[in-house]
Structure 1
């Protein structure tokens, strides 16, 4: 009887650990939509422990860093991203296998380690933060840190190609700003490589600036390495070089996806096969597939029914999809999409799904075996009491499994960029945020944008809607 009470209490205690990811978006999204960045920052501080907790410290600093960045409070943003980077670096040196609690409960008890594209986006935010406060040296430090991070991620998962054409391109711009043109040329080449490896061609305007830079640096032969056709002309990039100064508009369009749950069920044969079935949330189609199942101690060659949830991308309605930019009421350009966070998340989940499925199914089997042994060891001989106890054990162990739905909450759905060659002086810049069908959903007007000789002036448009 004593064993039963302890077991039941343990099950109830573990089941009471709610998945914070299920409530984080519902708590913060209405505040962001109705009251804006500053109110959302305040709300996070007020409910930090309830909606983040000790295992999502990276996400807390990442989300706050992003919100401060959008709100133009760059020094505060820098501090939060520095702390996020420290959390990431500390966790990177620790072995995942040491986090044994996850074997008994679920992945949410492990510290959140960040997805590759979140790490690279963090460095992009930091580079722009330092540029915004006029610290070019600080931006260069972040560029070099970003390059180390991209090399580490790329070497770690070569088949997955965790790289960022946009971050490489931004790095080249910063090198140009500091007069380090050889490093700029190398970063431009790395940008082209990363864009093509992500499955597409280099964006048109980006390719024009890359081409112009490499030709000017006597590196035109390097362009033959890429499959993107050479531009017929590079007038915009050439004009930017001739004038010596430019305005660069970076628009954050829409709200990145969040994660929901996808339920899978099937059979697990230890040291055999894992057969799973799930219903596609988009098409309604039933999908079945088989993976190799590892041996599980105590399971023998038995066959177990398993059922569990995995994270599934949940795309949010997008009020903003693209931008139009008007310079001095004369020149009108549409910034190109240089980063697609929606696609990055989908690719990352696809890369990790098989590993996550096997790990989760193995964990469910381990708990099932343990639960059966616990039930046998605590039998009292009282049929009714044993029935109640066994139900409590089964319910408790089944409720332990929660999908890890953690992801950065305030990333843009996509990033759009354009570069304007300009004369020295003051300029009027009007940016229209557009919906998917080209309708204007917001205007950002800057009447006195001052550009000094040789300056690259960066304007951030945070249309996270």
Structure 2
């Protein structure tokens, strides 16, 4: 690991990168990220940041290469037990430094977005089969995590007073909202459904649209897609329940219509902040002693983004949210907190033992050096994939075939685009808004 990784906050390291991203200067932002080295603890995280920025810059080839390197690490990590053993050495080192020395572990919600963006890279490179492989990978991540959602907690002999922690730790409920866990991502299921439709696999598309609807039951576009395919596939039992809940499916009046699907990415995910708490740790004889904990937290509330609106022949169509990545990130951190607390409690006690040893061997100077090291090295692990969007919305329209002029209106900013609609085909538009920057990219499925 690098010296900066141990003693510097991750968000602070990426401050210039995020500034360039918010201005829409994605190539500059990617160039500002320190070259990813395989022996660094932030190797995969640096690659994720660069790959996302290259995607935003429409450099799908380079983005695909960087995401592929991350996937290689994930595959090796899953297949080779020796990698887990080597990481055990880093985990042991964290007992006398901080969690920042541990190789970055990509959480499930970030893995699903990795595969989703890789699928989009393949789409914009005209490779549908490659995109299908990636959405299957994204779905597999969610399925595996759902089966093992009961988090494995690190075992330790030291007890932290959870009541004291709950009273002192800032609430993240405003960031989390009403989501149930930190990994189920309706957006990845929806993208998967789109690609299965494009590949003429309606049964698979139906399954994934239903999965997305289970997560976002109030999204009207998901409701319509599930109703449409339930009708097409003659899912009699499902259709009765769906019709009772959402109403009867209204087929488009144009028999030869094409589809325009818009994916709207808004904002950039917030970085984790550090919070310092004085909490008691109970020893083997059940005697409490207070230590200063440095823990990550998401502060603030969720940003309200304007919806995209489109006016067609006097009818207004409005985009709807399909994932709030900021909420997934906050929920993921909440789920990690028991193991974070346990590791830090073990580390604080280990550092205290080190301080006592140095004090005995080096007197006052040894004691002072140990205290200075302990304070400097005890940094909260604030790492996360920071170039991700805050949220994603969707909008879907049926349109007559041919060249169509569509006026996009988002937050009072309008843009006229030309879209070639093909009969019974899907045109996919990816719209990105970050700060004052707005751009779009278009492909045919």
Instruction: Give the aligned partner of residue 185 of structure 1.
Output: 206
Which residues of 2 match residues 56-75 of structure 1 at below 5 A? 56-75=42-61
Instruction: Give the aligned partner of residue 359 of structure 1.
Output: 343
Structure 2: distance between partners of 1:224 and 1:392: 72
Alpha-carbon contact 2:36-2:47 (below 8 Å) kept:
no
- Residues 1:458 and 2:428 aligned together: yes
User: In the superposition, relative to structure 1, how do residues 330 and 87 fare at CA in structure 2: closer, same or farther (>3 Å)?
Assistant: farther
**Per-residue Cα deviation, 1:210-259 (whole angstroms, up to 9, x for no partner):** 12212321224236788x97222433xx3299435201111101121111
TM-score normalized by the length of structure 2 = 0.81
Look up the SS of the partner of 1:333 in the other structure. strand
Alpha-carbon contact 1:424-1:451 (below 8 Å) kept:
yes
Structure 2: distance between partners of 1:14 and 1:451: 53
Structure 2: distance between partners of 1:170 and 1:361: 42
Of residues 305, 313, 331 in structure 2, which corresponds to 1:321?
A: 305
Look up the SS of the partner of 2:386 in the other structure. coil
Name the Cα RMSD after superposition. 2.9
Instruction: Give the aligned partner of residue 137 of structure 1.
Output: 129
Of residues 297, 306, 312 in structure 1, which corresponds to 2:291?
A: 306
Of residues 87, 101, 115 in structure 2, which corresponds to 1:109?
A: 101
Alpha-carbon contact 2:7-2:377 (below 8 Å) kept:
no
Unaligned runs of 5+ in 1: 1-12, 196-200, 272-299, 380-385, 435-439
Deviates more, 1:23-32 or 1:407-416: 23-32
Alpha-carbon contact 1:154-1:161 (below 8 Å) kept:
no
- Residues 1:125 and 2:139 aligned together: no
CA apart distance, 1:202: 3.8
Instruction: Give the number of aligned pairs.
Output: 399
Instruction: Give the aligned partner of residue 268 of structure 1.
Output: 281
Instruction: Give the aligned partner of residue 230 of structure 1.
Output: 245
Alpha-carbon contact 2:260-2:398 (below 8 Å) kept:
yes
TM-score normalized by the length of structure 1 = 0.78
Of residues 180, 184, 199 in structure 2, which corresponds to 1:163?
A: 184
Alpha-carbon contact 1:264-1:308 (below 8 Å) kept:
yes
Which residues of 2 match residues 268-307 of structure 1 at below 5 A? 268-271=281-284, 303-307=288-292
User: In the superposition, relative to structure 1, how do residues 26 and 307 fare at CA in structure 2: closer, same or farther (>3 Å)?
Assistant: same
Structure 2: distance between partners of 1:208 and 1:430: 23
Deviates more, 1:17-26 or 1:208-217: 17-26
Look up the SS of the partner of 1:255 in the other structure. coil
User: In the superposition, relative to structure 1, how do residues 258 and 216 fare at CA in structure 2: closer, same or farther (>3 Å)?
Assistant: same
Of residues 226, 229, 232 in structure 2, which corresponds to 1:210?
A: 226
User: In the superposition, relative to structure 1, how do residues 127 and 107 fare at CA in structure 2: closer, same or farther (>3 Å)?
Assistant: same
Look up the SS of the partner of 1:342 in the other structure. helix
Rg larger in structure: 1
Which residues of 2 match residues 377-388 of structure 1 at below 5 A? 378-379=361-362, 386-388=363-365
Alpha-carbon contact 1:259-1:407 (below 8 Å) kept:
yes
**Per-residue Cα deviation, 1:43-88 (whole angstroms, up to 9, x for no partner):** 23xx4479x9921111211112211222222222211211122223
Instruction: Give the aligned partner of residue 79 of structure 1.
Output: 65
Alpha-carbon contact 1:328-1:428 (below 8 Å) kept:
no
Alpha-carbon contact 2:358-2:366 (below 8 Å) kept:
no
Which residues of 2 match residues 8-27 of structure 1 at below 5 A? 17-27=6-16
Look up the SS of the partner of 1:453 in the other structure. coil
Unaligned runs of 5+ in 2: 152-180, 436-445
Look up the SS of the partner of 2:7 in the other structure. coil
Instruction: Give the aligned partner of residue 169 of structure 2.
Output: none
Deviates more, 1:15-24 or 1:121-130: 15-24
Instruction: Give the aligned partner of residue 369 of structure 2.
Output: 392
